[in-house]
């Protein structure tokens, strides 16, 4: 006789086989993803590799994979051809001010949709998400007319101020993440006399680090690589940013000085790579929980 709850040898063997097959499938998928990952890395490797080649090496056949010697003058010539340092400072200013505003505003709205009760909350959240279906090109002309009427064209304000009103995608991420934070924390804070703003700032936000990291990384990358907005709203070369500078260099010298163009592109990509490698744990956790952890 087998007692209730006791596992037979046959059942144990079946569980072991199922677990082994599952592990085998995981390993198989990992093996299949290796060539895909290598294929994704090839353009980045080619860009860095080309930035260290002379003009003759870049157009040589068969291709020169490892340049000898390393032609680092491409970086010096590329940086000095344009005020690259000024463009970098402009990009840093735009990126961090816009990201700060987006994280603050989107977290407040997401907190309201996730933790507060008020009439029409579901309808307002649906309307907020429906704005994701509007292509950015549809809003381009109306936004330009508004900013021109405000006298903001030719300044960084059109690129920074809208972030302080949140974005539908960031609000959605915060709302989905905060739905998984225990409400008992809010109730305990209210018993101690904390108000709504204090609960958001001192209770909820410290527990929403993965969501903040995910929104911040998305915003940092988008604003660092921003091209269309700065091209439209910034009028002078002294207001240029990295993406516009690369396009300007390509238009002036790209057909001849391809090595310098690759060098500038590599410099523009390095901060994004560093950011992702240092924050990828929070980034992945924030995406996973925000996408699947809500109720």
pTM for the full model? 0.82
What per-residue confidence (pLDDT) applies to 110? 94
DSSP assignment of 109-149 equals HHHHHHH---TTHHHHHHHHHHGGGS-HHHHHHHHHHHHHH
| Of 111, 134, 124, nearest in space to 215 by CA | 111
Distances (CA, A) of 100 to 65, 249, 276: 41, 30, 18
> What DSSP state is assigned to residue 202?
I
For residues 49 and 15, what is the distance between their CA atoms, to the nearest angstrom? Answer: 50
Percentage of the chain exceeding pLDDT 90: 29
Q: Which helix (H) or strand (E) holds 35?
A: helix 9-50
For residues 17 and 83, what is the distance between their CA atoms, to the nearest angstrom? Answer: 63
Q: How confident is the model at residue 292 (pLDDT cuts 50, 70, 90)?
A: very low
User: In this predicted model, what pLDDT tens digit does every residue of 254-284 receive, in sequence order?
Assistant: 667 888 888 999 999 988 888 888 877 776 7
Domain spans of the chain, in order of start: 9-50, 73-292
pLDDT above 70 (res 184): yes
For residues 289 and 207, what is the distance between their CA atoms, to the nearest angstrom? Answer: 13
What per-residue confidence (pLDDT) applies to 293? 44
User: In this predicted model, what pLDDT tens digit does every residue of 106-118 receive, in sequence order?
Assistant: 999 999 999 888 8
pLDDT above 60 (res 135): yes
For residues 276 and 219, what is the distance between their CA atoms, to the nearest angstrom? Answer: 12
pLDDT above 50 (res 295): no
| Of 170, 266, 267, 156, nearest in space to 220 by CA | 170
User: In this predicted model, what pLDDT tens digit does every residue of 139-166 receive, in sequence order?
Assistant: 899 999 999 999 999 999 999 999 999 9
- Backbone dihedral angles phi then psi of residue 154, each to the nearest 5 degrees: 95, 5
For residues 165 and 160, what is the distance between their CA atoms, to the nearest angstrom? Answer: 10
Q: How confident is the model at residue 4 (pLDDT cuts 50, 70, 90)?
A: very low
Cβ atoms of 172 and 243 within 8 Å: the answer is no
Count of CB atoms within 10 A of residue 126's CB? 10
Task: Report CA torsion sign: 245, 94, 223, 275.
Answer: positive
For residues 144 and 294, what is the distance between their CA atoms, to the nearest angstrom? Answer: 36
Q: Find the mean pLDDT for residues 187-209.
A: 88
Percentage of the chain exceeding pLDDT 70: 87
Of residues 192 and 149, more confidence is placed in: 149
Of residues 47 and 17, more confidence is placed in: 47
Region 73-292: CATH code: 1.10.3720.10
Cβ atoms of 31 and 24 within 8 Å: the answer is no
Q: How confident is the model at residue 96 (pLDDT cuts 50, 70, 90)?
A: very high
| Of 166, 157, 174, nearest in space to 239 by CA | 157
What per-residue confidence (pLDDT) applies to 17? 58
Q: Find the mean pLDDT for residues 76-94.
A: 89
What per-residue confidence (pLDDT) applies to 1? 43
What per-residue confidence (pLDDT) applies to 2? 44
pLDDT above 60 (res 3): no
For residues 258 and 49, what is the distance between their CA atoms, to the nearest angstrom? Answer: 12
For residues 183 and 186, what is the distance between their CA atoms, to the nearest angstrom? Answer: 5
Rounded to 10 deg, the angle between the 168-178 and 84-115 helix axes is: 50
pLDDT above 70 (res 25): yes
Q: How confident is the model at residue 99 (pLDDT cuts 50, 70, 90)?
A: very high
């Amino acid at each position: 006789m087998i007692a209730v709850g006791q596992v037979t040898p046959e059942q144990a063997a079946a569980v072991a086989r199922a677990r082994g097959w599952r592990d085998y499938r995981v390993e198989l998928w990992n093996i299949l993803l290796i060539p895909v990952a290598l294929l994704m890395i090839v353009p980045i490797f080619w860009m860095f590799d080309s930035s260290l080649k002379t003009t003759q090496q870049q157009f040589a056949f068969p291709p020169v994979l490892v340049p000898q010697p390393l032609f680092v003058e491409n970086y010096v010539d590329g940086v000095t051809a344009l005020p690259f340092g000024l463009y970098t400072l402009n990009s840093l200013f735009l990126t961090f001010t816009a990201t700060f505003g987006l994280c603050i505003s989107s977290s407040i709205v997401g907190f309201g949709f996730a933790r507060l009760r008020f009439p029409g909350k579901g309808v307002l959240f649906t309307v907020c998400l429906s704005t994701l279906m509007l292509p950015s090109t549809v809003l381009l002309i109306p936004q330009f007319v508004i900013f021109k009427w405000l006298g903001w064209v030719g300044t960084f304000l059109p690129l920074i101020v809208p972030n302080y009103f949140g974005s539908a995608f960031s609000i959605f991420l915060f709302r989905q993440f905060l739905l998984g934070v225990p409400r008992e924390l809010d109730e305990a804070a209210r018993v101690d006399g904390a108000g709504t703003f204090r609960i958001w700032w001192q209770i909820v936000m410290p527990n929403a680090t993965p969501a903040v990291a995910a929104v911040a990384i998305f915003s940092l990358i988008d604003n660092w690589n921003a091209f269309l907005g700065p091209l439209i709203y910034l009028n002078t070369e002294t207001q240029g940013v990295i993406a516009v500078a690369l396009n300007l260099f390509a238009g002036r010298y790209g057909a001849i000085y391809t090595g310098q163009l690759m060098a500038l592109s590599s410099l523009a990509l390095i901060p994004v790579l560093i950011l992702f490698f240092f924050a990828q744990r929070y980034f992945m956790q924030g995406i996973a929980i925000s996408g699947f952890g809500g109720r």
